[in-house]
Structure 1
Amino acid sequence: MLIANKHAARIPYPDELRSIMSIERAEQSRRWLSGWSGIARAATPLHELPGLAARLKLAWLGIKDESLRSPLGSFKALGAPVALLRQVLRLHPGFDPESVLAGRHAEALKDYTVISATDGNHGRALAAAARDAGCRCVIVLHARVSAERERAIAACGARIVRIAGNYDASVTEAARLAAEHGWQVVSDTSYDGYEDIPRDVMQGYGVIASELVEQSGGRPPCTHVFLQGGVGGLAAGVIGYLWETYGARRPRFIVVEPDQADCLYQSALAQSPACASGSVDSIMAGLACGEVSPLAWRFLRNSVDHFMTIADDAAIQAMRVLAAGGHGDIPIVAGESGAAGLAGLLVSMRDETLAGALGLDADSRVLVINTEGATAPSVYEQCVGMTASSVLSRQEACLARP
């Protein structure tokens, strides 16, 4: 389903939003994270997909590959670590920012405990950052998080708490445990009285847009950007940076989420933060969220041009398209949530009415973001029909060609 946002504005970036999240703070986050061993030193690649662009009859199609952001395998390595860092600096303003994640203040932090709910990637990133900083970490997992993802988080040193129910239930349990034990919640979703840390998480995601602007030589990189939904943090972080950079010349933003986890779509209908209308049970685990982050909604309500929902099968098809490569395109490993933006584009281009509503034509330059690799390798193989390692081998061979 697709809905146009009648409140989307093409105006300079509002001062009200800049006071919350800005290019300046995103660049600061980028500098502070650059020395962390858990993150890649270089910008993640922006790959052109000329073969797929030709098949879709687009002028250009690019994909920013966040699967290479970190050994953790996703863009979440930008959010939780910088939020943890900023929280530590609020408690210890005299600490050197670049030394915190290097563990040089571990003795002072050894009794400090952070906690979060997660579908996998955020919790893994927080656990890795907490381990390197020297503090303790507790991660709350709901019933649908796979044992494979649980093992990956536990391997980073976190204590795991399992609950019945969905992601939103795990958020509630994390808040309860934090209040009971005096722990600090480090979440990517905001709620009443809790905005500073979710803001810091979103600010970290602005690093993706910072790199994109550099890789595009400062020019508007595209006419359309398809972004994953979830609670809205990724979209808000990327949109905020690009909106501040390009003002009224910003790209058209389309936010994509699962049919059954349509909290952003429902928020667009209500024009205020709303809950999903479905079961919130999707193969796109990172996007299976029942409630929008109210803070993220403040950035999305006047910037997103269209909100879109897709079926799980569409995400799987997009994963296979990226894995196949060919026709001049590099093979790419994209997880279930990672392929959602491309899935939205593919669905749109198969329907002339949808493509027309989105203004997609032969002059369109489209960007999608692969937000994760095969963070659950067995699920990836089931969906794609080949292993992630085999796709990466073909990717390496493609990159090695002169």
Structure 2
Amino acid sequence: MLILNPDPAHGAPLDAADAALLGADAADELARYLAHRPDHRPTPLIALPCLAARLGVAALHLKDESTRFGLGSFKALGGAYAVVRLVLEEAARRLGRPVGYADMGAPEVRNIAATMTFACATDGNHGRSVAQGAAMLGSRCAILVHAGVSPARVAAIAGLGAEIIRVDGTYDDSVEEAARLSAARGWTVVSDTSWPGYERIPGLVMQGYVAMVDEALAAMPAPPTHVFVQAGVGGLAAAVAGHLAERLGARRPTLVVVEPDRAACVLETARAGRPVRIAAGAPTVMAMLECYETSLVAWRILARAADAFMTVSEEDAVAAMNRLARPEAGDMAVVAGESGGAGLAGLLRVAGDAGARQALGCGAEARILVFNTEGATDTARYRDLVGLDPALVAGAGSAPDQ
């Protein structure tokens, strides 16, 4: 399913606050933060010229977030960054002087961090990022997980020192419980979704994602004409759309938001013209995108800066994983998790539909950017779906010419 953005605000400039959140100043702030992380390396931008030729487009680039900070997903940029910002702000308040990224290891800052507890709900990846940020500074951390979070992903979060709290129901239920528990216990919620009265911290999480967009633009030989980006609550898609709108202005690419057809809350929000909560249905293989309520701040940005919304099926997602693992001859193999290849799945669906291609202007001159938002964060699940060990795929390099 594909719909063009019907919102009356489509194409309008971002609100001033959102422009400040995702514009050039945000990119500069992130650069200062990343300069003080010794584990920071820009993630690869991978050209897939053979698949581009197969799809009938001029170029296809994939930004591979599977190695970000050793956490396996783009989420590593958001939650940890928000935790660091919040600790430094609290330290500045208590110490009565400016505190910057260079002070992250200072004893007086770590002593203050040790008095703070951060909490969030997660499908797996956001919780790892929040836990890593808390561990970096010596804060406590509680992560709420619902029944759909796999044991391997729960273990990875616990391995970073976080307390695991199990919640019945869906991701959205765990978001509500994280807010309730935090209010009762004096914890700070670092959520990747927003609701009335709670926007600043999700905004910081989104701001962290600007770094990968900036890296992609710097590495591409020419700016993209089209971007396909996946959405859960919409934070990633909004960060990508908003930064591209601020950075490129009238030259911004056509941006398509891609969701699972079993959890398409952003598409339904676009139809309704306001953030909506949809009914939970059957679980989706794209577990990191299994969200049923759109983030308020994300929708405010997407209403203006997204151009189309579409869904992909379970089979589409698994096919994208396999296509990246077994690439066209001459292209590089890529390890993409269940949700990681969803943007590419959207492109593959559009490429095979003449009407959709025409609606999006996705012709022979198109230069496409997609994001591999996660690697094999559950290796057993990856083997089940792809039939290959992710370590072998990662070491395969380019497919031989045939």
Q: Under a length normalisation based on structure 1, what TM-score does the superposition of the two structures give?
A: 0.94
1:12: Cα distance to partner? 5.4
2:103 to 96, 99, 103: 99
- Distance change (3 Å), C-alpha of 1:52 and 1:191: same
Which position in structure 1 is the counterpart of 2:4? 4
**2:115 aligned with 1:114, yes or no?**
no
1:285: Cα distance to partner? 1.0
In structure 2, C-alpha distance between the alignment counterparts of 1:237 and 1:363, rounded to whole Å: 26
**2:31 aligned with 1:30, yes or no?**
yes
Secondary structure, counterpart of 1:274 in structure 2: coil
In structure 1, C-alpha distance between the alignment counterparts of 2:13 and 2:268, rounded to whole Å: 26
Which position in structure 1 is the counterpart of 2:370? 368
Does the CA contact (< 8 Å) of 1:112 and 1:183 recur in 2? yes
Does the CA contact (< 8 Å) of 2:268 and 2:276 recur in 1? yes
Does the CA contact (< 8 Å) of 2:12 and 2:304 recur in 1? no
**2:250 aligned with 1:248, yes or no?**
yes
Deviations 1:80-104 (A, max 9, x none): 0111111112212233323327887
In structure 1, C-alpha distance between the alignment counterparts of 2:198 and 2:302, rounded to whole Å: 18
Secondary structure, counterpart of 2:136 in structure 1: helix
In structure 1, C-alpha distance between the alignment counterparts of 2:335 and 2:372, rounded to whole Å: 9
Q: CA RMSD in A?
A: 2.0
Does the CA contact (< 8 Å) of 1:138 and 1:160 recur in 2? yes
**2:84 aligned with 1:80, yes or no?**
no
Secondary structure, counterpart of 1:308 in structure 2: strand
Which position in structure 2 is the counterpart of 1:215? 219
Secondary structure, counterpart of 1:77 in structure 2: helix
Deviations 1:237-296 (A, max 9, x none): 111111111111100000000111111000100111112355162111111001000011
Which position in structure 1 is the counterpart of 2:70? 71
Secondary structure, counterpart of 2:60 in structure 1: strand
Alignment of 1:3-402 (within 5 A): 3-7=3-7, 9-10=10-11, 15-37=16-38, 39-41=39-41, 43-93=42-92, 94-100=98-104, 105-216=109-220, 219=222, 221-279=223-281, 281-395=283-397, 398=398
Amino acid at match of 1:121: N
In structure 1, C-alpha distance between the alignment counterparts of 2:328 and 2:229, rounded to whole Å: 24
Amino acid at match of 1:56: L
- Distance change (3 Å), C-alpha of 1:300 and 1:30: same
In structure 1, C-alpha distance between the alignment counterparts of 2:246 and 2:106, rounded to whole Å: 32
Q: Under a length normalisation based on structure 2, what TM-score does the superposition of the two structures give?
A: 0.94
1:36: Cα distance to partner? 2.1
Secondary structure, counterpart of 2:66 in structure 1: helix
Does the CA contact (< 8 Å) of 1:227 and 1:256 recur in 2? yes
In structure 2, C-alpha distance between the alignment counterparts of 1:226 and 1:317, rounded to whole Å: 16
1:137: Cα distance to partner? 0.3
In structure 1, C-alpha distance between the alignment counterparts of 2:114 and 2:66, rounded to whole Å: 31
In structure 2, C-alpha distance between the alignment counterparts of 1:139 and 1:13, rounded to whole Å: 32
- Distance change (3 Å), C-alpha of 1:101 and 1:279: farther
In structure 1, C-alpha distance between the alignment counterparts of 2:280 and 2:356, rounded to whole Å: 22
Does the CA contact (< 8 Å) of 2:325 and 2:333 recur in 1? yes
Amino acid at match of 2:298: A
1:156: Cα distance to partner? 0.5
- Distance change (3 Å), C-alpha of 1:103 and 1:154: farther
Amino acid at match of 1:25: A
Which position in structure 1 is the counterpart of 2:95? none
- Distance change (3 Å), C-alpha of 1:287 and 1:102: farther
